Amino acid sequence: MKSIIEKIKKSLDTVRPGLQADGGDCELVGFDDKTGTARVKLIGMCAHCPMSQITLEQSIGEVLKKEVPEVKKVVNA
């Protein structure tokens, strides 16, 4: 059985091409299984983009919550 961390990383791989197309990327910093919070770090152009919070919540967050039910919240690390 895959660990939650592995599932999250695999899900991040599905959103990564869109981020990389704009010169950015993301990486998983950690996951708190008690609160269901995934901490994700935006890097490259995404780290300084004024739309980064929207990307985090609507793109990354929605995909992670859908594909990994244990994830309840996604925050910028």
Dump pLDDT digits (tens) for 15-29. Answer: 999 999 999 999 999
Cα dihedral angle (32, 34, 36, 41), rounded to 10 degrees?
Answer: -10
Is the per-residue pLDDT at 50 higher than 80? yes
**Which domains, from first to last, does the chain contain?**
4-76 (3.30.300.130)
Contact 41, 27 (CB under 8 A): yes
Rounded Cα gap, residues 68 and 59, in angstroms: 14
- Residue 46: count other Cβ atoms within 10 Å of its Cβ: 21
Residue 1 has what pLDDT?
47
Contact 46, 57 (CB under 8 A): no
| pTM of the entire predicted model | 0.90
